[in-house]
A and B are shown apart, each in its own frame.
Chain A
Amino acid sequence: MVKIKYVKRPELENRERIFFIDFIKGMKVTLKNLFRKTVTTYYPFEKLTPPKRFRGTHAHRVKDGTEPPSFKVIEKFMDIKDGESRCVACYMCQQACPVPELFKIEAIQTEDGRKRVVRFDMNLLNCMYCGLCTEACPVDCLIMTDIYETAAYHRGSCVTHMEDMAERAVDFDRRRKDEPDRIWIDDKERSKLWGQIKWS
């Protein structure tokens, strides 16, 4: 049996009743806050940098010689030039995705018998940014970047294509490839706001 302990709400003391002690305590808190620094980020003018592991808009890493061995073994079967998306159209991302109609991937056979990916569209309106597709990618192609401004004026603009994704990954790697992989980064703005974060 669960024992239930009844606790009486403490009555106010006369001292508290007469001199509004709680009232003064509350006023003290607001006065203290009044002179504190504001914590607002002036959003369109200044933006916080998310951590590197942030799950933002998707991107495709390009073929630039840093591929994992899994890509190296099938490289000769693929018709991919340097600087193009290294996607091999294995459909693992589509398999992993919990949303049925999110990916549209098409690949064709070129005349010399190699495989070429001609279409890799993601409808980000349906995406819940769970990151399962990036975990499924065997060639370290599909990644998630730190871009979080995904609003657009038309639904069509929310569908992201292979070329855009390649560009995005190049940009992301240029900015953050060498950054140590931490849950939170030592952002200058962030440390200004909340102080230095201690890493375990």
Chain B
Amino acid sequence: MELVGTVVVLVIKSVIFILGMFLGAAYLTLLERKFAGHVQQRPGPLHVGPHGFLQPIADALKVLTKEDLVPDNVDKVLFYLASLMAFVPAIMILAVVPFGDPFTIFGVEIKPYITDINVGLLLALAFGSISIYGVIFAGWASNSKYPMIGGLRKAAVLIGYEVALGFALVGPIMMAGSFSLREIVEAQQNIWFIIPNILAFVVVIFCVLAETGRTPFDVQEAEAELVGGYVTEYTGMKFGLFPLAEWYIATFVLSAITVILFFGGWNPIPFLGWLPIPAFVWFFLKVFLLFMFFLWVHWTLPRYRVDQITELAWKVMLPLALANIFIVAIWIIIFG
């Protein structure tokens, strides 16, 4: 009986999280288009609903009702698998992201996270990496030269930044003494981990941009040189899933993880703790600001070449991550 109850609660929670993420991602597209528009001094979507507020719904209807073409000589299994492979793991990272402390409402304790396992961070990293395979499979399965180049580029970049990302996360883990994201947040009640881990933060920003394929590092789709990159042969919703997964869900979830690791998760901003603001509002505020920062970078910088990204990853970011581990070790020795 207890098992059934747990399963029901988990299913309800998962459905809420997934639906919330879907709607959230849809409106993140609107946010991005508005932001991009205003950065370039145009207003962005404007006519569907007040100030384009219903534009995501119109887009969704359009993408869902489009004809779904599959080219003749593609590798059918991988071709279908790739779009799911990019999308599902990206949304599965949500399973380990905690949005706040457990709280009680009407006498029922509600935990605002699906699961709190002691290797949460590793799981998040693993799902993030699997999500990249969607891109590589799409490039391989499309039987076309531009997707192929895009997929290979992503594979080349992947090898570079994954190593640096892994080492960069060691710092916060050392300070918290746990892989559990909830415990990492609880360890930051006095001081955020950004303080000694500033180098790791730079590396993580680099890695999140590279992993989600946002613009300084969007070599895998590089619309100016590769037509559409790995999504060239895709149409309809299969096409729509890729940007949704990579640009919105992955960026949002990885922003959440970065906030948890470096900015104290749902702990209030220093000196503002007396404000009557619930924990998850603080959390979403921070995630939103970080997401806006990624958008800001995306719509500012030009694209790096693949060799430049790889060089940056191996020659700059990896040493920075290692140096960060050293600094954090000394910090722990001195301050306990």
Interface of A toward B, CB cutoff 8 Å: 23, 26-27, 29-31, 33-40, 42
Contact = CB atoms under 8 A, between A and B. Distances in A.
Interface string B36-70: 01111111001000000000000000000000000
A29 B35 CA distance: 14
27 contacts: A23-B301, A26-B300, A27-B296, A27-B300, A29-B300, A30-B39, A30-B299, A30-B300, A31-B296, A33-B38, A33-B41, A34-B35, A34-B38, A34-B39, A35-B38, A36-B41, A37-B41, A38-B37, A38-B38, A38-B41, A38-B42, A38-B43, A39-B41, A40-B41, A40-B42, A40-B43, A42-B46
Nearest to B35: A34
Contacts of A40: 41-43
A35 B297 CA distance: 16
Nearest to B44: A38
A30 B296 contact: yes
A38 B38 CA distance: 7
Contacts of A42: 46
A33 B300 CA distance: 11
Nearest to B316: A17
A30 B41 CA distance: 10
Interface in B282-308: 296-297, 299-301
B62 to A, nearest CB: 20
A26 B41 CA distance: 16
Given A27-B297, A39-B41, 15 more contacts: A23-B301, A26-B300, A27-B296, A27-B300, A29-B300, A30-B296, A30-B299, A30-B300, A31-B296, A33-B38, A33-B39, A33-B40, A37-B41, A38-B41, A40-B42
B42 to A, nearest CB: 5
B288 to A, nearest CB: 16
B301 A26 contact: yes
B129 to A, nearest CB: 27
Contacts of A37: 41
Contacts of A33: 38-41
Contacts of A36: 41
A94 B37 CA distance: 47
Contacts of B301: 23, 26
A145 B297 CA distance: 46
A18 to B, nearest CB: 10
Contacts of A38: 37-38, 41-43
Nearest to B216: A23
Nearest to A23: B301
Interface in B1-49: 35, 37-43, 46
Interface hub of B41, B296, B300 (most chain A Cβ within 10 A) = B300
The 6 closest A-B pairs by CB, nearest first: A30-B300, A38-B43, A26-B300, A40-B42, A30-B39, A34-B38
B192 to A, nearest CB: 21
Contacts of B43: 38, 40
A29 B297 CA distance: 11
A36 B296 CA distance: 15
Contacts of B299: 30
Nearest to A26: B300
Contacts of A29: 300
A23 to B, nearest CB: 7
A42 B296 CA distance: 25
Nearest to B293: A27
A19 to B, nearest CB: 11
B42 A39 contact: yes
